[in-house]
Structure 1
Amino acid sequence: MDPPGFLNVRRQVFRVEFPDGSLSDPFTYDSVDRERLDAVVIAPHYRGADGRRHVYLRSALRPPAATRSPAVCPVPEKPTLGALWELPAGLVEVDERSAEGLQRSAVRELLEEVGFDVDPSALRALGPPSFPAPGMVGERHFYFHVEVDPARQGQPTEDGSPLERLAAIAVVPLDEAIELTRRGEIEDAKTEVALRRLAEL
């Protein structure tokens, strides 16, 4: 027997109650669920000698994007389909479901993905959480930013996943990173949200 999957489909039956008190017919709705539902997104940054803010991005291969069927694509895809540039991010563990736990999660992901070991107190909230795909999954993204010292960057510890092994790390001026989102070179939505929020600080 195969082990249980990382994702599960939850099938529920709903009825909508309208303002006049009437009810819709029952309807079935499928959604995706998982034990570790939420995620943290972290924008590590620093001011360069020129006064410009720079951010750290990490390469990521996302199999669901990389394996999109050509039959479903309304426009031609790039040869780099599924190879994304992202801010550090990761899932919140079950024992991290608290304000302090979210900070611990962000600290862990920052070390695993870009090699910065920071104190949780250095993290700052970067706006409210958001739902990345509310029609399909109840996941929330919790956003943080942290000012880092480039000289204190170490080797990313990674999480043991083949998808994290030997990822590339890029340091990009924030304004250039935002321009890359406009041109579609950065396609990850959570990264664009965080970059634009960081630019507003």
Structure 2
Amino acid sequence: MAGRQTFIRTLHDAGLAAWFGGSLFGAVGLNGAAAAASDPSERTKIAAAGWAKWAPVNAVALAAHTVGGIGLIAGNAGRVATQKGAGQNTALKTVLTLAAMGVTAYSGLQGAKLGKNSPAPAAGATEPNEQTPHEVAQAQKRLKALQWSIPALTGVLLVMTVQQGEQQKPSQIAKGLIERVRS
């Protein structure tokens, strides 16, 4: 078992927390506030400006989570390889992390399209109206689904992180090693 990994674990967990929390706030708070703007042509502009301000912070959060995740895998390589369930959890979490990163990047591209074409009249940040230009409306429709998929994926990653923490309890390590030897 690896020694203390406080710094690496902090990078991993704080990065994931910021990623999850920022995406959830953006979907609920920022996009909701933009939709409340009295001028329909300001709604996309407000949302795009807010997301653009968040993007550098989100990039740092993703980088911290990635560095922390790689560090945790390296520091726990022996346990991941030998403890029953640890390897599968780590592999699935890696796949979900890559998927969440891909969705986040694609969302950023759609947000950039929205920003480039703003201000544009719209019902909300992710809801076009009959006056919304086609390219903006297409980006909005994509963003409507993406805004919820990022917190959903990162929420699952949070649960898996807790599960991995539970797997590191001495009783769980012993049980996992015994089960591995038996199978």
TM-score interval, normalised by the smaller of the two chains: under 0.3
* TM-score normalised by the chain length of structure 2: 0.23
What's the TM-score once normalised by structure 1's chain length?
0.22
Give 1 or 2 for the bigger CA radius of gyration: 2
**Which structure carries more strand by proportion?**
1
- Higher relative contact order (Cα pairs below 8 Å, separated by 6+ residues): 2
